[in-house]
Chain A
Amino acid sequence: MAEIRSWKPIFIALTVNKERTGLRGNEKSAQLKGLLRQQVTEARNRVLDNDGQISADEADRLERFARLVEITEQVEEPAQRPRWPVAAVLALTLGVVSSLLFLRVPSTNVVIDFKVGALGLVVPQSQILNEPTSLVKLDAEGLAHVRIPRSKGRSGQALSATDEIWSQLQLRAPKSALGRITLQPLAPPRGTRIWLRKTSLPNQFSLSLQHEEIKTVTSLTVSGRLGLRSPDGSNFDRDFGRGRALHLTGSGNVVDFLMTVADDGRELFSRIIPVSALTLMRVHQEVAGQTQVEESTIWSGTIYFNDLGEMSRALRAAESLRLEVSEGYIRTLTLAGDYFVFSFHGEVENLTVGEGSGQHSLMPTYLEWMSSQHALSLLWGAAMYVFGLALAVVRWWRIRV
């Protein structure tokens, strides 16, 4: 009878709760455990009040109740935990990691040291390109006007290319004649395309200036006895005395010069030339075959990624390099033997190497960028993430830590 009495309130309580709340198995188990805890507490208080006396019935009843709770937990079906958060966390993790590994920063700051056979650039503003440069010989093509200054025994001449004779001009400074040709600083207007190419002859390079709207004026200082030759083949010498200005005005979009400098190895060009575009590819055009082949003008080079600390990448000979310049400048452009040596500093976009299917980006990934620029934040973030992930796995597998 005692057993029946003792079980009755439990079953009544459970039945009432079930009817009232319609609780599921796990919740009932928790409720049962709570009820046991409550009764144990009440029994403890009573024992304390009765100087440690507990009735055999009560002890027996609590023991059986505890046994029931234990059996209930054993037969209880494990909770069906939802699966979608796991999939979401996995997808998010994959997305974040993939983004960091494969997405690239839109622009990066680089220093590129080059040895090139040719280079093209666009100036974003009118800028002095060169120091006064001594020339041994100069060929000019694409001229509209030639202003030949007065010379000994002759007055100056303003010649026009309308008769097609003076669209080209050659100036020579033979060593025996002690004449000098000095290219004055060029200041091409904003947006001028400049193409420099080393020729196969020693100390000789070609310079092309192209502007859509403005005709380029190039000034030379001529002194002493010089040889001049026009395209019709006429040769004549002139003595320009201590120095006179000779001006050449371009006829259209492009003026081409072939210059032979007195000595190479010197910095021919200004120390800083701002550029808005830089080209290190040359187009070979075969007219008959109607084909265009681009080839790299690079002899060698190294790209230093300023955003990535000390990271650098060497460029092989003839490796195709393409880039878009956001903002940058060229420093120390020098003619040295068979190539130009220069250094480019600036912010670039779409930096790629290779051709066709082999073309790939050299722009840093976000992970590379973050590991260099925000190493501590990345470390803390990664550590927290891994810790959280490990904790989730442990809890998932119900491992007690």
Chain B
Amino acid sequence: MSLTNVVVLVVLNVWATLFSFQFASAQDSVCDPLLEERVAGPWGYRLRGQYCEGLYAEKVSSVALSIVSFMSAIANYDLSNGKPLIVEWTATGVGELRLRAVSLERKTYYRMDSRVPAEAERFLWPLEVLAGVGIERRSLGVLGSIDLVIAGEERRVLLPLRVRQEGIVQDKVEAAQRNFKMLARPGVELNEVYISVVAISDTGEEENYLIDEEPLKYGFYPAERTFPVLMPPLSEPGLYHISIAAELARGGDTVVEAYFYRPDG
């Protein structure tokens, strides 16, 4: 090996080390500081390379209602073959996409948090923890959001995600691309849930309501049991706003609101 090659290798090594330190420190903020790592063993919630993932301790208090998943397609995956999952989305604007995955099972306190450039349009998700905890397709909720300026104010906007395992043919999941599936989870028991969806104009104004205070009429909304949110057909691509209002069984109301983006195609 010539002296020049040695010098180049040393420089590359130093650069790689510095880069990895910088990258690691940037990733430290990915983890949710509220999820204290109290679960012993390899599956506790902690930083795992570019993302934070794992089990966490139960929180005594939880929000009354939250959106936990927004996907347009999720293909079956095999927890035993070790191939990673691929999360994809259609980028709108630039910036950072916040990814969050949860277990939809009651009493399974699992979370994955990551931040990736929105324009990357995909995230490679190692299956290790999902396989270790045993979270299958029907128990997985994934949410992706970016910050967009709407009517002069920065708003968090949900992007529909597509999830498949590496090696699965893309066409099979793209067939369901327009079937947006939003899931919500109550922290307390609810009596009834009312959905409103409105299209948002280019100027950020509410245009026309696709549905307005439409009751879900599921009849039973126990705490921590996820339920699907009725979505009207969204023929036009663009920005929408959803409001999920609920009557609490213990009295009072709650509402969760979100902007979401319906991509073209």
Contacts and interface: CB of A to CB of B under 8 A. Distances in A.
Interface stretch (B56-64, B88-96, B136-144): B56-64
A270 interface: yes
B253 A221 contact: yes
A158 B257 CA distance: 16
Given A182-B253, A243-B253, A125 B34 contact: yes
Nearest to B36: A125
B202 interface: no
Interface string B196-236: 00000000001000000100000000000000000000000
A132 B60 contact: no
Interface in A232-263: 241-245, 262
Most buried by B among A150, A221, A222, A243: A243
A156 B243 CA distance: 13
Contacts of A156: 206
Interface string A314-353: 0000000000000000000000000000000000000000
B61 A243 contact: no
Given A155-B206, A182-B253, A221-B253, A243 B246 contact: yes
Nearest to B194: A242
Given A241-B213, A243-B194, A184 B64 contact: yes
B188 A131 contact: yes
B242 to A, nearest CB: 12
A185 interface: yes
Contacts of B59: 128
A244 B206 contact: no
A221 B62 contact: no
A133 interface: yes
B253 to A, nearest CB: 4
B252 interface: yes
B255 interface: yes
Interface in A265-287: 270-272
> Interface residue tally of chain B, by bracket?
20 to 34
A185 to B, nearest CB: 6
A221 B63 contact: no
Contacts of B194: 242-243
Contacts of B34: 125-126
Nearest to B215: A242
Nearest to B245: A243
Interface in A124-149: 125-128, 131-134
Given A241-B213, A242-B213, A223 B60 contact: no
A242 B245 contact: yes
B135 interface: no
B119 to A, nearest CB: 30
B251 interface: yes
A182 B206 contact: no
Contact of B63 (A125, A134, A185, A272): A185
B253 A180 contact: yes
Nearest to A128: B61
User: When A and B form their complex, which 6 residue pairs have the shortest distance between CB atoms, in order from nearest?
Assistant: A243-B245, A182-B252, A134-B252, A128-B61, A270-B61, A242-B194
Given A155-B206, A182-B254, A243-B245, 14 more contacts: A125-B34, A131-B61, A131-B250, A132-B252, A133-B252, A156-B206, A158-B153, A180-B252, A184-B64, A184-B254, A221-B254, A223-B253, A244-B245, A245-B243
